Amino acid sequence: MKHFDVMISEQEIDNKVEEVAAKISSDFEGESVVVIGVLTGAFIFTADLVRSLTVPVETVDFVQVSSYEGDKSTGKLVFKKDISTDIEGKNVLIVEDIIDTGRTLKQLKQMFLERNPKSIKICTAFDKPSRRVTDLVPDYNCFTIPDKFIVGYGLDYDGKYRDYKDVRIVRTDDE
């Protein structure tokens, strides 16, 4: 049987999103950004972040990739949807729900760099540096978390539990 223990409250998430949005807005003051959310997990975080930014958001687009089956990474990145926005010469902010091994974001960043943006920054809601197998470090991070499988705030377990407003650790009876 699965249990879901609250790890980060809705209020803590709201506060941290505002704080990170203020930092991004400060860094891009006087410029606009193209926000690219990574589907499906980052859709809620992307919406909250965009609403909190004070710099002009030129456009919001999404890319969809997958590397998970259940709670395990397959290590293989499958692209399901590319962006439709031309990012050449523009400031790009990639918004991800969680960075684990770093493979997905490293590949995405490289793919977008080939399109000649002015800059690329990465913002994640949750970072698990203990699982990193690449040298990728996000430019903006809301929460650094331990190596636990979490759901809520857009993150899922086999497509479920994205609707939790807080973040919860998934554990089983034998844990």
**pTM score:** 0.92
- Alpha-carbon torsion 152, 38, 45, 73, what sign? positive
Q: Which of 5, 82, 86, 100 is catalytic?
A: 100
Q: Is 61 annotated as catalytic?
A: no
In a domain, 92, yes or no: yes
Q: Which domain holds residue 16?
A: 10-146
In a domain, 170, yes or no: no
Q: Structural domain tally of the chain? A: 1
In a domain, 153, yes or no: no
CB count in 10 Å sphere of residue 163: 11
In a domain, 22, yes or no: yes
In a domain, 120, yes or no: yes
Model confidence over 89-100: pLDDT tens digits? 999 999 999 998
In a domain, 69, yes or no: yes
In a domain, 108, yes or no: yes
Model confidence over 161-173: pLDDT tens digits? 999 999 999 988 7
- Joined tokens for residue 63: 């890319």
